Structure formats: structure tokens, C-alpha cells
Amino acid sequence: MSKQQGPMELGQLRDRVAVVTGAGNHGIGWGLCCHAAGELGMHVIVLDLHEKLVREAEQRLRQLYPQVECHGLACDVTEPEQLTTVAARIADLLPGKAIGAVFANAGVIFSHRIMNSTVQEWETTLRVNVMGVVNTMHAFIPLLQAQESESIFSATASVGGLVRGDNGGASYQASKHAVVATCEALSFELARKSPQIRVHVLCPCIVASALDKTSVVNQRVQDGESSADEVEALGAGGFRLAMTPERHAIQTFEHIKAGNFYMVTDNVRPYVDHDLPFDGVAIMRERHENMQTLTLDNSDAWERRPGMAPSAIMKGPMFGEPESF
């Protein structure tokens, strides 16, 4: 097994830089920034679409973690030259500091069935979720290759990128399957050449965030229907069984420490205070069993549950009881 896949000593990340895209709201990226700064002593670069969002995130981080340096930079991950400019600025902002981790985390979701989804939704989803990750690789992998010290490159896919397509999730899941395959390919390409770079794909189950809302807000700004100056940081949906971004980050770094490539972050103790996991691995296994028999089991399409559309993946302990919602 290559060094790239082995356990990692997280203590070496102290005084190094963590770069996190899509961290301007109160979601997964924000949780990773807080953990990197507060628990690992890393300096943090917050990237997100709007100047106002990243300035406010920078201020929050500086107040919470005065012992490290935190900077917010506006950057659209669908624009390669913006990422290259940001990558170059980090050396000026934090001279002499090595980059310890890059989290390509920015993402969007538009949950519509295929026949109700628009071409624009598909294009935005693929541009942000897939090309945003590729652009982040192009901007940062050469910098990590130039360093001798070990570093982490993680892209946020989803457990949706490992399981079968579902009701209303097609554009999102198609994009996340692409992120998983792209990270697998990057890991392979770097295995011999740059084993000091540890590639991971982050596949969260259910984390409290406002992803559906931030996706709509950002689309409205892009369409000129509202101003970027009005955008407020959003967080935590109402699903009480979700992981908090902070506890999700603990699980993520446990995976990194263990050297796990597929970082499936399930809703299990001690990261949540209940015993109703999403059980992502069981749903992954189901897909692989289908593939091995060259069949697709659609029996879940006949399921009728109060308040929920039929789903092949929103099932199991977390979604089993109506009172879960």
C-alpha cells in the first residue's frame, strides 16, 4: 500500500495552511475551518463566492481563533483563473507557510426529477460540483507537489456519489459520482509521482446546512435578481438527526488520520446523539450487489411513507420512523 493511503500524524498540520472552498456559510466547509484552526492549529483560507460572505467568515474565525491567521478571499470555483490568483495570493498573505490541506468543498443542489429539471440547473450543478473540483485540483496540486511535506487534498462528493440514482437527485448525484471518479483518478495519478499528497473523497451522509437555500440564493445573484451585498451566511437546516458541521469535521479528520480514502461520514455516535444512522455503507453495498447481478432493484419505488416521496436511498434507521422528521 502506498504511503498516500496510510494513517496520518495530524500533529504535523500545526502552523500549516488549510484552504477550504465553499466555507462562507455555516455548513461543512465552515466546520472544517473551525476544526483546522481550533483543534489543529492551522491557518485558514476561507474561499466562497461573495466578498461580504468571506469577510464575515474571516471576522468570525479571527474572533474565535486569534492564535492562528485567517483570511477570506472571494473566489468562484468555476473560474480557473480566479483560483490560480487566489493560490498565488496565499504565499503573500502567509509567507513561508506550507499548505497542509485543501478541501474542494463548494457545491450546489437542485432537487428536481429529471423531467422537471432545467438545463440551467444541470449546467450549474456540473460546473460548480465537477469543474469546480477539477479547477481546484489544477490550481493547488502543483503547489502541493512542489512541497516536500505531506499534505491533504480532499474533494467533497457525497454519499450520493457512491449509491444508486434516486428520486429527484439525478443532477446532484451525477455530479457527485463524477467527483468520486475524479478523486480516484487523482489518487492513482499521484500515487507514485507525488506520494506526499494524500488524496481523499469526502462523502457525507446528512449534515445540517442550508445547501438547498445557498444554491438558490447564489443562482439569484448570478441571474441578477438580487445583489451579492445582500447575501447573508446561512446554516443548519431543521433536520434534528443531522450532524452539526463541527462534529462532522471531527469525523472527517478521524478518517484522514486513519488514512481512509472514501471518507463516508455517517450519522453515528459519537458524532450525533442518537442511534439512527443513515447507514451509507449498507446502501452502497446494495448498489454493488445490483451491479454484480447486472440488475437494478426498483422495489423502493412502490414504498409509501407519510410525508415522503418514494426513495431508494432515504430509508433505513434514520428515515424509518415518521417522528424522525
Ligand X SMILES: NC(=O)c1ccc[n+]([C@@H]2O[C@H](COP(=O)([O-])OP(=O)(O)OC[C@H]3O[C@@H](n4cnc5c(N)ncnc54)[C@H](O)[C@@H]3O)[C@@H](O)[C@H]2O)c1
Contacts (CB under 6 A) with ligand X, residues 122-161: 128, 132, 156, 158
Dihedral (Cα; 181, 182, 184, 186), 10-degree rounding:
160
Q: How many residues does the chain have?
A: 325
Which contacts qualify for 155-158: CB closer than 8 Å, 24 or more apart? 155/103, 155/104, 155/105, 155/179, 155/182, 155/183, 155/200, 155/201, 155/202, 156/22, 156/28, 156/29, 156/103, 156/104, 156/105, 156/107, 156/202, 156/204, 157/183, 157/201, 157/202, 157/203, 158/203, 158/204
Comparing CB distances to ligand X, the nearer of 99 and 157 is 157
Residue 29 as a binder of ligand X (CB under 6 A): the answer is yes
Residue 24 as a binder of ligand X (CB under 6 A): the answer is yes
Q: How far is the CB of 217 from ligand X (least distance, A)?
A: 8
Whole-angstrom Cα distance, residue 22 to residue 28? 8
Applying CB under 6 A, the span of 75-83, 91-99, 140-148, 303-311 interacting with ligand X comes to 75-83
Residue 168 as a binder of ligand X (CB under 6 A): the answer is no
Comparing CB distances to ligand X, the nearer of 25 and 151 is 25
Residue 209 as a binder of ligand X (CB under 6 A): the answer is yes
Which residue in the set 106, 130, 183, 190 belongs to the binding site for ligand X (CB under 6 A)?
Answer: 106
Which residue in the set 8, 27, 42, 314 belongs to the binding site for ligand X (CB under 6 A)?
Answer: 27
Applying CB under 6 A, the span of 5-13, 163-171, 201-209, 315-323 interacting with ligand X comes to 201-209
* Contact of 237 with 273, CB cutoff 8 Å: no
Residue 72 as a binder of ligand X (CB under 6 A): the answer is no
Whole-angstrom Cα distance, residue 99 to residue 77? 18
Whole-angstrom Cα distance, residue 17 to residue 69? 9
Give the torsion sign (CA, 40, 158, 112, 76): positive
Residue 48 as a binder of ligand X (CB under 6 A): the answer is yes
Residue 76 as a binder of ligand X (CB under 6 A): the answer is yes
Cell 502552523 belongs to residue: 15
Whole-angstrom Cα distance, residue 163 to residue 140? 29
Applying CB under 6 A, the span of 21-29, 110-118, 185-193, 293-301 interacting with ligand X comes to 21-29
Comparing CB distances to ligand X, the nearer of 94 and 108 is 108
* Contact of 271 with 243, CB cutoff 8 Å: yes
Applying CB under 6 A, the span of 64-72, 138-146, 204-212, 289-297 interacting with ligand X comes to 204-212
Residue 214 as a binder of ligand X (CB under 6 A): the answer is yes
Q: 270: cis peptide before it, omega within 30°?
A: yes
Residue 77 as a binder of ligand X (CB under 6 A): the answer is yes
Judged by the rule CB under 6 A, the positions of this chain that interact with ligand X are 21-22, 24-25, 27-29, 48-49, 76-78, 105-108, 128, 132, 156, 158, 204, 206-207, 209-211, 214, 218
